[in-house]
Structure 1
Amino acid sequence: MTSLGFALVLAAALCHATWNFFVKRINGGAELIWLFSVLSALLYLPLAVTIWIRSPAFDLVQLGFIAGSTVFHLLYFIVLQAGYRNGDLSLVYPTARATGPLLSSGLAVVVLGEALSWQIAAGAVVIVFGVFMLTGGLRRSAGNAAVSLGFGVGAGLLIGCYTAWDAYTVSVLAVPPLLVDYASSVGRSIVLAPLAFRRRADVARHWREHRGGVLTIAVFNSLAYILVLVALTFTPVVFVAPIREISVLVTVLMGSLLLGEGNLRHRLGWSAVILAGVVVLASSG
């Protein structure tokens, strides 16, 4: 792997962890999703228009898959946002990031007919065990850890679904990945507009009190994906996928150190185990 490829994916992981941190710190609802989605659509409009002009016209199948991707991503943001409002960042985020790749691999085996190797099975076992121990193992309470785990798994299931869906959209239907991501931002902006209007006082408050954080989310949410996309043009997925999961460890550090969620040694240790499992899973085949 080239040093440039590594630098791009590492930067993407840092961007991904950073925007998740600000979402948790602002602690908003669906109105926050609408606000940063609108800002993302505005900020990335010139790039999206440029790619759209250079792309051939889309047929109904391609447009249908773009719409489906928008729905999956919208549901993901809603579940993730609810998890951050009711659980711990350093539990919700690692669980979601672990469950997502696990489900993606399962879908590849069941739906796409890919072989289940010992390496895939081993990676799955390590991830499940790491997530279980991260949330307290057999001694975990039925309190906040269980809530965080539930939302994390829900977000992870949606990650797995939209990953498989988007992979088909960009690889088989040849829709430019950036346009899939941009359509998601626009779709969220449209669907959540009525709710944002009803909560316009909260929208104004988020912008007034957390303008820097909202702008950071708007930029980094899409930038993380764009950096990975650039790296994938000259770097194998087998290298890119596991390195992206460095964001799990960064997020755990942010949640424990900057948000005061505590249990740093425990959470960091088991997050490292989850990361090891994801590396095994991502490098299989």
Structure 2
Amino acid sequence: MSLHIFLAVLSAAFLHALWNALLRFGGSKIRAMVMLSLMEALVGLAIALARPLPEPAAWKWVAAACLVHFAYKYFLAHAYEQGDLSRVYPIARGTAPMLVAIVTALLALDVVRPLGYLGVGVLGLGILFMARGVFTDGESRRLLPYAFGSACATATYTLTDGLGARVAGDAAGYVGWLMVGGGLLFGLTMSLRRPKGFLTLSPARDWGMAALGAAASYGAYAISIWAMTKAPIALVAATRETAILFAVLIGWLAFGERMTRSKAIAAVLIVAGVVLTRL
């Protein structure tokens, strides 16, 4: 991997951590996710209209992916309501590839090399350390089921998005329609469940944050896809996981979240484990 591609992938990792961090600004994290989703729908529409329509067989995958992304956003937003960015993000982000690796091995969908099994073990150890910190540091234990729920949804949409994009014949167009459908589904459904004025009373600053988050979300995806056309996919995927370290640092420096030795060690173990599973 050349230096400029490596730096591009690092920027994508930072953007992914950034849009998660933007959910931490202000009050309700549910409202922040709703606003982000609606802005994502606008970004997705602009992309989708510039691309050819997906193949007819792909629309069922778009619909399935929208439901999975709804679950992902639901669990992630509720996790951030209960816990810190530097705690939730590593658990949610690290558990997903571990689940994918385990399911892949159990169903014999792919050959898992010894390095992959070592990665799963290191990942599990890091996640256990990170989850243990919830109990020892007096944080809300309610973040754990939401963080793990987000991870399960992430592992699921990794499969649905991969298959859907292949059937669609155009990955960019597929993702555009996914952002439209998924953004509207989450944004409108969650808005209807909230009190009147849930969004209309939101200040312009919050909408600006949502727009920035939507742009960061798309940027993180677009850069990663571009990098995978220029460098080995495994190396790109492994490098992207530095997003976990970015999230921990943002939580510590921007939000003043408590940084303990065990949390730092757990984050490093999770990143190391993910890298091992993807090499």
TM-score (ref. length: structure 1)? 0.88
Quote the offset at 1:96 in angstroms.
Answer: 0.7
Residue 146 (structure 2) aligns with = 151
Query: Structure 1 residue aligned with 2:252, among 252, 256, 275?
Result: 256
CA distances 1:222-253 after superposition (whole Å, capped 9, x unpaired): 21111111111111111111111111001011
Offset, 1:201: 1.9
Paired residues in the alignment total 277
Q: Report whether the alignment pairs 1:58 with 2:55.
A: yes
* Cα deviation digits, residues 21-76 of structure 1 (max 9, x gap): 01122343544333222222323433322222xx5x512x3110111111111110
The within-5 A match list for 1:121-270 is 121-136=117-132, 140-141=135-136, 144=139, 146-171=141-166, 173-191=167-185, 192-196=187-191, 198-199=194-195, 201-270=197-266
Task: Identify the match of residue 73 of structure 1 among 69, 73, 88.
Answer: 69
Instruction: Specify the SS of the correspondent of 1:24.
Output: coil
In the other structure, the counterpart of 1:2 is 2
User: What letter matches 2:139 in structure 1?
Assistant: N
Question: In the alignment, which residue of structure 2 is the partner of 1:113?
Answer: 109
Deviates more, 1:113-122 or 1:176-185: 176-185
Structure 2 distance, partners of 1:115, 1:230, is 26
TM-score by length of 2: 0.90
RMSD, matched Cα: 2.3
Equivalent pair of 2:29/2:80 in contact (CA under 8 Å): no
Output the CA distance in 2 between the equivalents of 1:117 and 1:145. 37
Q: Which amino acid aligns with 1:152?
A: A
Aligned to 1:19: 19
Q: CA deviation at 1:199?
A: 4.2
* Partner SS state of residue 110, structure 2: coil
Percent sequence identity over aligned pairs: 25
Q: Quickly say closer, same or farther: Cα 1:66–1:43, change in 2 above 3 A.
A: closer
> How far apart, in 2, do the equivalents of 1:273 and 1:252 lie?
13
Residues 73 and 180 from structure 1, CA distance in 2 versus in 1: closer, same or farther, beyond 3 angstroms?
farther
Q: Secondary structure at the match of 1:140?
A: helix
- CA deviations 1:175-204 (Å, max 9, x no partner) are 422233322322234323254255452313
SS of the residue aligned with 2:231? coil
Do the aligned residues in 2 keep the contact of 1:9 with 1:240 (CA within 8 Å)? yes
Structure 1 unaligned spans of 5+: none
The code of the aligned residue for 2:182 comes to: R
Q: Which piece of structure 1 moves more, 26-35 or 12-21?
A: 26-35
Cα pair distance change 1:145/1:30, threshold 3 Å: closer
1:169 partner letter: G
Gapped runs of 5+ residues in structure 2? none
- Matched residue, 2:93: 97
Distance 1:74 1:195 in 2: 10
Residue 267 of structure 1, CA deviation: 1.9
> 2: CA distance between counterparts of 1:271 and 1:236?
25
Cα distance change, pair 201–134 in 1 and its aligned pair in 2 (3 A): same
Distance 1:270 1:278, change over 3 A: same
Q: Tell me, in whole angstroms, the C-alpha distance in 2 between the residues paired with 1:217 and 1:205.
A: 19
Give the conservation status (yes or no) of the 8 Å contact 2:41–2:182: no
